[in-house]
Amino acid sequence: MSWEVGHEFAPVSFDVRRFDLVRYAGASGDFNPIHWNDRVATSVGLPGVIAHGMYTLALAGSAVTTWADGADAVLSLGARFTKPVVVPDDDAGTTVTVAGTVKSVEDGVATIDLTVTNADQNVLGMSKATVRC
Amino acid sequence: MAPPLDPSLNGRTFDPTPPYAVNREKILEFTTAIGSPLLDDGRTAPLTFPIVVAFGAMTQLMTDPSVGIELQNVVHGDQRFEYSRPVRAGDVLTGTLTVSSLRAAAGMDMLGTRTEITTTDGDPVATAYATLVHRAPAESIEGEAGA
């Protein structure tokens, strides 16, 4: 891979439905009910069920492995969880889009700034990956 | 308001988590749940898969009665992974968590954690860094935090 500073990767969009959150709870072992139960989510002041922060970061990771053609060259991935992704109880769910731009390339390592959006808002802060290139 | 945590928690290292055997079925479950294409024909795990081990280590910390964390008041503030290599089917992993920073501010405790994830043979795989925010129930989820 030879990436130049300023390179913009093709954004990747993901549909997120309640069903996906239930699957993720099982796959990850994180059964916090705010990620599948409206009654509990609203009782703690949320507008409704929200995606696991780690679910959203996993989507960012999926986009990075698409751009990097696998996981072998990826050196780091991280983010702050800044805004919840509310997932309505309907068949359409919601959409999370991951965009990435090469911020710097140094000693064969590219730093990619990730922009992860839902409903026109950034949902992850300081989201970055570093990849050998 | 949750009481502040004991400052001596800073620097404490917890016992390694029980061995976690990674197999293709678990990788498939996780990959399908996030709607991602399979990596390496399903032999390589998605980038955030090590959270399964790190989450076990964090649960150990949060449920330790000597620590005094109220689980329902914890919010996952941030998460970062540094990789030695990807997780692959056949790996048997364990995670060892250290509290790397602890600071109290505005009625909250911010716990920095570092979990070294290795094979049970001691080969490094990834390091997971997480900030856990421990705070009063009324403020626990409203507003910004989302995990």
- Quick: pLDDT tens for A82-106: 999 999 999 999 999 999 999 999 9
Going by their DSSP bridges, the two strands B92-105 and A124-132 should be labelled as unpaired
Least confident of B12-21, B73-82, B134-143: B134-143
Whole-number pLDDT of residue B106 = 84
Q: What is the average per-residue pLDDT within B14-41?
A: 97
A59 touches chain B (CB under 8 A): yes
Yes or no, beta carbons of A20 and B34 under 8 Å apart: yes
Shortest Cα distance, chain A CAs vs residue B13, angstroms: 23
What pLDDT score was predicted for residue B139? Answer: 45
Does the pLDDT at position B72 exceed 90?
Answer: no
Closest Cα in chain B to A14: B35
Nearest one of B87, B88, B81, B66 to B9, comparing CA atoms: B66
Chain B positions touching A67 (Cβ under 8 A) are none
A110 touches chain B (CB under 8 A): no
What angle do helix axes A18-28 and B51-63 make, rounded to 10 degrees?
A: 70
Look at B1 and A61; give whichever has higher pLDDT. Answer: A61
For residue B15, give the nearest of B56, B48, B47, B49 by alpha carbon.
B56
Q: Which residues of A touch B55 (CB under 8 A)?
A: 28-30
Round the average pLDDT of chain B to a whole number and report it: 90
Share of chain B above pLDDT 90, in %: 73
Query: Which residues, in sequence order, are bridge partners of residue B127?
Result: B82, B116
Q: Which two tokens stand for residue A12?
A: 């990747």
pLDDT of residue B2: 58
Residue B28 CB partners (closer than 8 Å, separation 6+): B38, B42
Whether residue B46 and residue A71 make contact (CB cut-off 8 A), yes or no, is: yes
ipTM beyond cut 0.90: yes
Q: Print the SS3 string covering A53-82.
A: HHHHHHHHHHHHHHHCCCCCCEEEEEEEEC
Residue ranges of chain A with per-residue pLDDT less than 70: none
Measured between CA atoms, how close is A4 to chain B, in angstroms? 23
Dihedral over Cα of B30, B32, B35, B36: its sign: positive
A24 in contact with B, Cβ within 8 Å: yes
Confidence band (pLDDT; 50, 70, 90) for B5? confident
3-state per-residue secondary structure call for chain B: CCCCCCHHHCCCECCCCCCEECCHHHHHHHHHHCCCCCEHHHCECCCCCCHHHHHHHHHHHHHCCCCCCCHHHEEEEEEEEEECCCCECCCEEEEEEEEEEEEEECCEEEEEEEEEEEECCCCEEEEEEEEEEECCHHHCCCCCCCC
- B→A contacts (Cβ < 8 Å), by residue, are 26, 29-30, 32-37, 39-40, 44-48, 51-52, 55-56, 75-83, 85-86, 129, 137, 140-142, 144-147
Residue contact A72–B45, C-beta within 8 A: no
- Nearest C-alpha of chain A: how many angstroms from B142? 6
- Partners of residue B130 on adjacent β-strands: B79, B113
